[in-house]
Structure 1
Amino acid sequence: MEFKDKVALVTGAGTGNGEALAERLHAGGASVVLVSRRLEPVELVCRRIDPKGVQTLALKADVRDPLAMASAVNQSIERFGKLDLAVNNAGVTGPAGVPVQDVELDIWREVIDTGLTGIFHSMKYEIPAIRANGSGAIVNMSSANGLVGLAGMAAYTVAKHGVIGLTRSAALELAESNIRVCAVAPGYVATPRIMDSGKEVTDWMASVHPMKRLATREEVADLVAYLLSERAAFITGSVHSIDGGYTAQ
């Protein structure tokens, strides 16, 4: 129960890594605000992990909309009285295998606006709330492809690189405010969406990791939970790979 009496906000919490992150924080004792573009998925997760609805709150908010994120943070404080922790996980990948010159402008905007500007919008309102509480921690979800190049997915690669820069800048700004900011960079993770892409695709994804398998959602959630916990009290501004050796190649 390392997060007992803590309040955490998780974006993109309706499925995939976000769902596992919210579940892990709730299991650790936190009250958790689950944010998603669509309300139904986060409501389902809340009912599954917290049937009585005592320690969870499902909110519809699009991270691309700064006013929506301001409202989500305000509603979190109204419900639970404060905000201690945040995991900025919402993002989209966009299509694969598209050279830079062929990327559609609306696809570029959607990927950048969700996966990079959306994290900026989230942090813009999370930071004052956490600062008012006196201390806290933020984890931003980047990717192994935020550390290396990836042909055919320029927008996603740019967004995830940008998340790391945003994380480092914020960590320096907040280093004396008892607020830590880190980034996590997973390789391919066995989320439902990835597992539904077919054996040929998942076998290829596993093969690019030297460990020859996918990460589990629980492994990613455990790393994020560690970084949010007091066990990581001297860790800030850093990027933590969980990629089976992918970026060591």
Structure 2
Amino acid sequence: MQPDQVSIATQGLLKGRRVLVTGGARGLGLEFARHAGRAGAAVVIADILANELHAAAEDLRAEGIQAQSVVFDQSSPESITDCVVQAAQWLGGLDGLVNNAAITNSGGKALNELDIDVWDKVMAVNVRGTWLMSRACWPALKASGRGSIVNLASDTSLWGAQNLLAYVASKGAVIAMSRSMAREMGVDNITVNAVAPGLTLVEATEYVPKHRHELYEGQRAIQRQQVPDDVSGVVTFLLSDLSRFVTGQVMAVNGGFVMH
């Protein structure tokens, strides 16, 4: 894959940085890792999708990026701890965490149809998992002296997408947690921010009906489809020294569908 405009613009921006990206087997997570690597970072990608994950790491290494993969389950506290230990050992420390791993599972059902088990699973992965991963990474990020956490939210939590309650609620919680975590971790010079992408063309959104894509595109200030590169530059910026005094913020990246 040839470097794109985002990669060229951020070249060298993360030189020497060590970054863990969860949900990195495909989609946005893989693109975040790729752009961080192109910007000079060594990366560990972590995911539950073992085969796709290892293949993704191979692709990154073929591009000349220092990359390793760790299989983990974000719904398991023990697996999260093991993941962070392995990542920090391989990288020799940790400067950045991108909390991207998440599930949807609740799409298409009204709030009175939503299964309690589905709600609990979404919350376990998206909310509790984000908290536990951040907690596990805190000591290594503190030791770095310039730690950064980027939590992936969603603009659905800013405008209130219907028939997606568990996911929307979980991403709203991620935004709230990011603000609280920023205050608690700021004493250790760790920045914590949330990025809220709009509907992006990745594998995870293939189930979304065509009319929903058209709705987004037609109501954006910039009227086109959203692609991973639109989000990757913002994430790379938040991992870099350019954003050392930016913390507790929510970056809505959606072409102006929601102006937050």
TM-score by length of 1: 0.93
Tell me, yes or no, if structure 1 residue 132 matches structure 2 residue 139: no
Contact 1:46 1:53 in 2 (8 A): no
Partner of 1:37: 48
Aligned residues: 249
- Of residues 40-49 and 230-239 in structure 1, the stretch that sits farther from structure 2 once superposed is 40-49
Contact 2:106 2:119 in 1 (8 A): no
Tell me, yes or no, if structure 1 residue 2 matches structure 2 residue 13: yes
List alignment gaps of at least 5 residues for structure 2.
Answer: 1-11
**2:168 match: secondary structure:** helix
Contact 1:73 1:129 in 2 (8 A): no
Q: 1:216 aligns with which of 198, 220, 227?
A: 227
Whichever residue aligns with residue 113 of structure 2, its letter is: D
Partner of 1:106: 117
Partner of 1:87: 98
Partner of 2:6: none
Partner of 2:71: 60
Whichever residue aligns with residue 30 of structure 1, its letter is: A
Deviation of residue 150 (structure 1)?
Answer: 1.7
List alignment gaps of at least 5 residues for structure 1.
Answer: none
Tell me, yes or no, if structure 1 residue 181 matches structure 2 residue 171: no
Contact 1:191 1:217 in 2 (8 A): yes
Whichever residue aligns with residue 206 of structure 1, its letter is: E
Tell me, yes or no, if structure 1 residue 26 matches structure 2 residue 22: no
Matches within 5 A, 1:169-208: 169-195=180-206, 199-208=210-219
Tell me, yes or no, if structure 1 residue 148 matches structure 2 residue 159: yes
- Quick one: distance in 2 between partners of 1:174 and 1:241? 22
1:127-168 superposed Cα distances (whole Å, 9 cap, x missing partner): 122112222100000010122312211101110000011100
Deviation of residue 200 (structure 1)?
Answer: 4.6
Contact 1:195 1:202 in 2 (8 A): no
- Quick one: distance in 2 between partners of 1:14 and 1:4? 23
Runs of 4 or more off by more than 3 Å in structure 1?
A: 195-202
